[in-house]
Amino acid sequence: MANSLEKKRSSQLVRDIRRHKSVYLLLLFPLTYYILFRYVPIFNGQIAFRDFMALDGILGSKWIGLKHFKTFTHSYYFWELLRNTLMYSVGKLLFSLPLAIILAITIYECNKPFLRKIVQTLAYLPHFLSWVIMYGILLALLAPGDGIINDVIKLFGGKPLDFLTNTDAFPWIVILSDAWKEMGWSAIIFIAALMGIDPSLFEAALVEGANSWQRVRYITLPSILPVIVIVVLLRLGTILDAGFNQIFMLYSTPVLSVADIIDTWVYRQGLLEFQFGLATAVGLFKGFIGMFLILGSNRLVRRFGGSSLF
């Protein structure tokens, strides 16, 4: 009985494999890539547990267990770093992502071809302004001495504000400027998704007498939901990446208490000081949190019957 079941199983497997024979050919190169360029570095990532000495190589370096992890978690600023990192990544997820989706939908729905085209052509361009340039623009807007916004405040008799060096204002500046720069770029993928909607759905909706709001609510949004879910899940996987380049350019000593994130700390402590084991250990730490979140939310998505990662 068990035997025949086993036989049935294996024959099913053989059928499945035979059926997908050419699949394995398709997989040949991509999998080789993943093993060589992704898993070998992960194997090398064991320097997180070693006192890495360049001359001894990875396997020859002394095994020191969790010492690097402890250096990180015992940092004077550990909890603050974690809090700041989450504040920025969650803030951007909750703010920039919905804005990008709204932008994609409005571009799709706009019935003024001129407006639609010009926004679609320009919206992605700020992505190319490096943070060096963006900083110059923010300085011109917000500088306490001669920033435009402070000029307006002074015009109305107010006291100029030090937006860029004020701990209350700084987080908002990070989140808003990120949305400003990246919204159009993030919207591209949703615009691409919107192009796949079957127009006959809209015709049906019109026949049923749905208005524009209902159309967005019941057709447009559900059709791009799978892409939104994938994007959110993937961003949860890297939740402890809060945008190194941006923060590194924008922060200054007075706002370190709200600006310092894990990556900037690692850069100062690890990369610039030949502590590569530490840098890798922090990378693994971030990975564990990301993996936990990605698996957890994936399960949640599946429970609600959405399209999931796994």
Residues 277-296 that bind other proteins (CB under 8 A): 279-280, 283-284, 286-287, 290-291, 294
Site string (60-99) toward other proteins, x via CB under 8 A = ---------------xxx----------------------
Q: Report the residue from 43, 63, 79, 172 that binds other proteins according to the rule CB under 8 A.
A: 43
130's tokens: 């490096």
Q: Report the residue from 7, 63, 203, 302 that binds other proteins according to the rule CB under 8 A.
A: 203
- Establish if 130 lies at the interface with other proteins (CB under 8 A): yes
Rounded distance between C-alpha atoms, residue 299 and residue 233, angstroms: 11
Query: In angstroms, what is the minimal distance from the CB of 87 to other proteins?
Result: 17
Specify the stretch interacting with other proteins by CB under 8 A; choose among 62-70, 89-97, 145-153: 145-153
Q: Report the residue from 84, 120, 186, 246 that binds other proteins according to the rule CB under 8 A.
A: 120
Q: Which residues contact 251 (CB under 8 A, 6 or more apart)?
A: 170, 259, 260, 264
Amino acid code (one letter) for 240: L
- Establish if 302 lies at the interface with other proteins (CB under 8 A): no
Specify the stretch interacting with other proteins by CB under 8 A; choose among 34-42, 62-70, 87-95: 34-42
Q: Torsions phi, psi of 62, nearest 5?
A: -70, 135
Specify the stretch interacting with other proteins by CB under 8 A; choose among 62-70, 89-97, 225-233: 225-233
Rounded distance between C-alpha atoms, residue 97 and residue 104, angstroms: 11
- Establish if 102 lies at the interface with other proteins (CB under 8 A): yes
Closest C-alpha among 119, 130, 123 to residue 96 = 123
- Whether 191 and 120 have beta carbons less than 8 Å apart is answered as yes
Rounded distance between C-alpha atoms, residue 56 and residue 257, angstroms: 39
Burial class (CB within 10 angstroms; exposed 0-12, middle 13-18, buried 19+) of 121:
exposed
- Establish if 300 lies at the interface with other proteins (CB under 8 A): no
Amino acid code (one letter) for 141: L
CB atoms within 10 A of CB 21: 8
- Establish if 199 lies at the interface with other proteins (CB under 8 A): yes
Residues within window 246-275 making contact with other proteins, judged by CB under 8 A: 252-254, 256-257, 260, 265, 268-269, 271-274
Q: Report the residue from 7, 44, 62, 302 that binds other proteins according to the rule CB under 8 A.
A: 44
- Establish if 51 lies at the interface with other proteins (CB under 8 A): no
Amino acid code (one letter) for 140: A
Quick one: 95 or 276, whose CB is closer to other proteins? 276
Site string (154-183) toward other proteins, x via CB under 8 A = ------x-x-xxxx------------xx-x
